[in-house]
Amino acid sequence: MDAMSETMVAAPSLTSKLELARQAAVLLSTATTELKNAALLAIADGVVSNASQILEANSLDLANGRENGLSAGLQDRLRLDEVRLAALADAVRHIASLVDPVGQSVRGSTLPNGVKIAQVRVPFGVIGAIYEARPNVTIDIAALALKSGNAVVLRGGSAAEHSNRVLVNVIQDALRSVGVHASAVQTIDEFGRDGAKELMQARGYVDVLIPRGSADLINTVVAESKVPVIETGAGVVHVFLDESADSETAVDIVHNSKVQRPSVCNAVETLLVHSASASRLLPPVLNALRQAGVTIHGDEQTQAIYADVVPANVEDWSTEYMSLDLSVRVVAGLDEAMEHIRTYSTRHTESIVTNSLANAERFLAEVDSAVVMVNASTRFTDGGEFGFGAEVGISTQKLHARGPMGLSELTSTKWIVRGTGQTRG
């Protein structure tokens, strides 16, 4: 991948960067699995060996975030430490170990006249990503894009500006070390918000755009982009405790879903409880949450059962808190729980805690979200947990990709037709 002039990488305009990305994408589309894996392993090693430099830059971003009033949830997403960096490096190594999706046959057949047709996976080409306060996304998306044969252009936002600059430098140094051109992974953070707008208009340069962040960010990209968008959604996530739910199981699942990492999109934000089991389940469940520092926003029935509750209002049901806050509502049964989810959910993840097989199967069949669970923590909605190594995001749309997006979701397909001179009659 030495064909492109290194001097062009420093080209000042965003258009020049996009042109370089397209050139890199052409070369990456035919890169061997061995070369792509070598690049990934070099990135993982670079993250570890440059940890002190990365963490120093991240400290600057965190200090700026605190000074600018960045929420506690966004500060948690922004924060890197030795453990998180090691996990990022491990995720990149895991991606290197996964099967390369490029060239995989999806389906095919031989026609009666002997013509052979096959649908195979191919890279998108150039992927654009717009995200905020999430330096881990810089590594995750770059690694998944490279393994799936795509170039990637990153707009990481001002909150993580220092962290992302160092991370992209680490990635580009790793690429050069194995002979992959550095323009396969680029940042356009230096162009600010105007750069993000230009990226959204870059049809012909960028093949698909993936936003990750707040509902406002995602809605802006979806509404204003001329480039096809894979929509990742905010997480107004629900857990429903059915009449038959076991108390200990309910406590464990709700506590883990809310407390294990409250700032992420798969953390539960609304707890629904069957009225027939509310007096039995709410006290132990809410006690465990209160001991962990969770503020409970409850409806009138919840307030009647449990004393330490902030009265909930209608805005609570549609709020992604990203903090130690939880809204709680008592419902008449499964039908009312599913109606509440249909009304307020962002179609991300929903879970039912139940010992009723019939109710479990109804919930799985009738709840229309990207991930629907029975007797499991919502925190499992994650590319790493699903075995993808990392994820590009959680898609809440229905076209092309839905749920955690890994390698195969960063590919399209094309049809390969092989004949021996056949013509159509």
Q: What is the pLDDT of residues 402-420, one digit of tens each?
A: 998 899 999 999 999 999 9
Task: Report the C-alpha gap between 57 and 163 in whole angstroms.
Answer: 5
What CATH number should be reported for the domain holding residue 283? 3.40.309.10
Same domain for 84 and 209: yes
Q: What is the pLDDT of residues 189-216, one digit of tens each?
A: 999 999 999 999 999 999 999 998 877 8
Within a domain: residue 394? no
Same domain for 265 and 224: no
For residue 13, pLDDT over 60 is answered with yes
Within a domain: residue 151? yes
Sign of CA dihedral 262, 267, 272, 273: negative
Across residues 72-92, what is the average pLDDT? 93
**Beta partners for residue 128, in sequence order:** 153, 209
Same domain for 221 and 91: yes
Burial class for 154, CB neighbours closer than 10 Å (0-12, 13-18, 19+) = buried
The set of residues, in sequence order, having a beta carbon less than 8 Å from that of 360 and lying 6+ positions away, is 352, 354, 374, 375
**Beta partners for residue 229, in sequence order:** 209
3-class SS letters over 320-367: CCCCCEEEEEEECCHHHHHHHHHHHCCCCEEEEECCCHHHHHHHHHHC
In single-letter form, the type of residue at position 1 comes to M
**Of 232, 259, 289, which residue is a domain's last?**
232
**Of 213, 232, 251, which residue is a domain's last?**
232
The set of residues, in sequence order, having a beta carbon less than 8 Å from that of 15 and lying 6+ positions away, is 205
Task: Report the C-alpha gap between 409 and 208 in whole angstroms.
Answer: 11
User: Token pair 């809310």 is at which residue?
Assistant: 258
**Of 216, 232, 248, which residue is a domain's last?**
232
Q: How confident is the model at residue 51 (pLDDT cuts 50, 70, 90)?
A: very high
Across residues 236-240, what is the average pLDDT? 97
Q: Is 14 in contact with 195 (CB distance < 8 Å)?
A: yes
Specify the number of domains making up the chain. Answer: 2
Q: How far is CA 153 from CA 302, 344, 406, in A?
A: 48, 33, 17
Q: Is 28 in contact with 126 (CB distance < 8 Å)?
A: no
Domain ranges, residue 356: 237-380
For residue 248, pLDDT over 80 is answered with yes
Same domain for 274 and 218: no
Q: How confident is the model at residue 396 (pLDDT cuts 50, 70, 90)?
A: confident
Same domain for 223 and 263: no
For residue 10, pLDDT over 50 is answered with no
User: Token pair 């001097």 is at which residue?
Assistant: 7
Same domain for 254 and 211: no
Phi/psi region, residue 330 (left: phi>0; alpha: psi -120 to 50; beta: rest), is: beta
pLDDT of residue 72: 85
For residue 8, pLDDT over 70 is answered with no
Mean pLDDT of the chain: 93
Within a domain: residue 404? no
Within a domain: residue 31? yes
CA 65 to chain centre: 22
Q: How confident is the model at residue 181 (pLDDT cuts 50, 70, 90)?
A: very high
Phi/psi region, residue 237 (left: phi>0; alpha: psi -120 to 50; beta: rest), is: beta
For residue 9, pLDDT over 80 is answered with no
Q: Which stretches does DSSP call E strand in 43-196?
A: 105-110, 116-123, 126-131, 151-155, 185-187
Phi/psi region, residue 157 (left: phi>0; alpha: psi -120 to 50; beta: rest), is: left
**Beta partners for residue 328, in sequence order:** 271, 298
For residue 274, pLDDT over 50 is answered with yes
Q: What is the pLDDT of residues 113-151, one digit of tens each?
A: 999 999 999 999 999 999 988 899 999 999 999 999 999
Within a domain: residue 362? yes
What CATH number should be reported for the domain holding residue 205? 3.40.605.10
Same domain for 26 and 143: yes
For residue 366, pLDDT over 50 is answered with yes
Q: Indicate the Cα dihedral angle 276, 278, 279, 285, nearest 10°.
A: 150
Q: Is 171 in contact with 151 (CB distance < 8 Å)?
A: no
Q: Which of 10-19, 58-67, 91-100, 413-422 has the least mean pLDDT?
A: 10-19
Q: Is 296 in contact with 286 (CB distance < 8 Å)?
A: yes
Within a domain: residue 390? no
Q: Is 118 in contact with 136 (CB distance < 8 Å)?
A: no
Within a domain: residue 133? yes
Same domain for 98 and 79: yes
Same domain for 282 and 220: no
Within a domain: residue 284? yes
What values do phi and psi take at 305, rounded to 5? -95, -35
pLDDT of residue 12: 60
Task: Report the C-alpha gap between 306 and 294 in whole angstroms.
Answer: 14
Same domain for 196 and 167: yes
Same domain for 62 and 149: yes
Same domain for 24 and 136: yes
The set of residues, in sequence order, having a beta carbon less than 8 Å from that of 119 and lying 6+ positions away, is 105, 106, 107, 108, 413, 414, 415, 416
3-state secondary structure of 53: helix
